[in-house]
Amino acid sequence: MAGAERREFQRLTLDPPVPGTFGTTAVMLMEVGVLGSRIHHGESLSEQYGELRFSHGGEEIAMKCEVIRSNPSQQSKYPGSGVESGIRFLAAIGESGDRLRNMLADLVSRELKLRRDTPAHDKTIDGDKTIRGKDAQFICYRFDHNSWSKRRVFLPEQPANGFTVARVEDTDEMQRLCRVYQASDDEGRRLIRLFAELSVSDALQIPPTA
């Protein structure tokens, strides 16, 4: 797509992996995002559809899922052992959608704190000149030519340089994210986009509640 905008939600690598179950099969979650997960398991899954269950912070997260693909494991932690499957979340059971977003926000915040080293220079965000569409649900923050701009947008696409959030996000928090984004490397910036996507997924009710 022109402009390198992205609609696909990103996934977070889990280190260490998180134990869970898919149906009656024990699995390890290797990656997770608001749309799906990559899991490792000892044997092939017998069902294409099932419930993925795992926990974070003492709270269970349960998702209705569809298996998209399965391949022999390539993980160095599991050399020549087991299978990896990519699964898509179809619906969140109970409060699992909110719990999943809380889990991702917690893990991304921890990772960003570990990666933070040099404070960025504070740049004023030029919003007055660029805001369009007062009814738009999302705000896109762009970092181009060493300065920030923001504008309201109708589609929650993530820019190549910057991030997009739901309009309800706190302004001070967004200023802080902009400063952290400036000081981050490529992986740190990807994590910030993932963090921003959590507010987008909440506004769009992704995944939907079963």
- The per-residue pLDDT for range 101-155, each reduced to its tens digit, is 999 999 998 888 877 654 444 444 443 333 333 456 899 999 998 899 999 998 8
Lowest mean per-residue pLDDT among 79-88, 113-122, 157-166: 113-122
In this predicted structure, what is the pLDDT of residue 73?
81
* pLDDT at residue 58 is higher than 80: yes
Return the amino acid letter for 92: A
Angle between helices 171-183 and 186-203 (to 10 degrees): 150
**Range name among 16-20, 21-25, 168-172, 177-181 with the lowest pLDDT average:** 168-172
Ranking 119-128, 175-184, 197-206 by mean pLDDT, the lowest is: 119-128
Residue-level pLDDT at 77? 57
pLDDT at residue number 128: 33
| CA 13, chain centre distance (Å) | 10
Backbone φ, ψ for residue 157 (5° rounding): -85, 140
Q: What domains are defined for the chain?
A: 12-113 (2.40.10.430), 114-203 (no CATH)
Q: Is the pLDDT of residue 157 over 70?
A: yes
Indicate whether 83 pLDDT > 50.
yes
> Residues 64-74: pLDDT tens digits?
999 999 988 87
Ramachandran category for residue 111: left, alpha or beta (phi over 0 → left; psi -120 to 50 → alpha): alpha
